[in-house]
Amino acid sequence: MQLSSSIYFEGLSVGLGLIIAIGAQNAFVLKQGIGRRFVFVTALVCTLIDAMLILGGVLGLGAIINGNSALLFAVTAAGTLFLMWFGLKSFAAVINPRVLTDETGGAEGLGLRSTVLSLLALGFLNPHVYLDTVIMLGGIGARHPAAQRPSFILGAASASAIWFFGLAYGAGFLAPLFRKKITWRILDFAIGCVMLFISISLAVFAVRSWPS
């Protein structure tokens, strides 16, 4: 193994460029951070998922997924249903919003088990995540000689860690704004729109990727 600072920073910069975007996973992390619920666990699970997918991509997982239309369709369909359910759940929260207090924090949010399961679903049932980590990052990393790939993987995984921990803990500074129901209503509505928009785009993609 040959660690290279230039390849590490290549992985770091490309990783940040792909990860920093409004998506289902980031929206969930943002909400967890604002509600101050399982912030460390949320950021850690997201980082580990990305690291696993980046590693798999560099080792050739992207080619396997692209070459298996049935697998691609199954993952896309499952992700569509999950994101649609999550979006409807967010719209329901607009009607009955929670309020952040010093005593309860995000008391009405998900428990630890449900949080981890939701993060796993957002990470492994969302083809957009596979596109960014497995196919794009994995494809870029795979271009380097085998001895230098660990540097790229480490850099890209570092980007995930910086982003998710920064987003999760940074969102806590917005907590004072979320002591009012109207602010929660706006956030839940925005998240609901993001989730449903992505689920619709995935549904279209699932139809196009139907095994022939």
Domain coordinates in residue numbering, the chain: 5-208
With vertex at residue 58, the alpha carbon angle to CA 52 and CA 63, rounded to the nearest 5 degrees, is 105
Statement: residue 127 has pLDDT above 90 = no
Statement: residue 137 has pLDDT above 90 = no
Statement: residue 40 has pLDDT above 90 = yes
How confident is the model over 14-21, as a mean pLDDT? 76
With vertex at residue 156, the alpha carbon angle to CA 152 and CA 160, rounded to the nearest 5 degrees, is 165
| 165 in Cβ contact with 27 (< 8 Å) | no
Statement: residue 42 has pLDDT above 90 = yes
Taking alpha carbons only, the member of 130, 112, 110, 117 closest to residue 50 is 130
**CA pair distance 197, 159, nearest whole angstrom:** 26
Q: What are phi and psi of 101, to 5 degrees?
A: -130, 165
Among 89-98, 110-119, 181-190, top mean pLDDT goes to: 110-119
- 3-class SS at 111? coil
| 33 in Cβ contact with 159 (< 8 Å) | no
Where b means 16+ CB within 10 Å and e means fewer, 46-79 reads bbbbbbbbbbbbbbebbeebeeeeeebbebbbbb
Beta bridge partners of 121: none
| 94 in Cβ contact with 183 (< 8 Å) | no
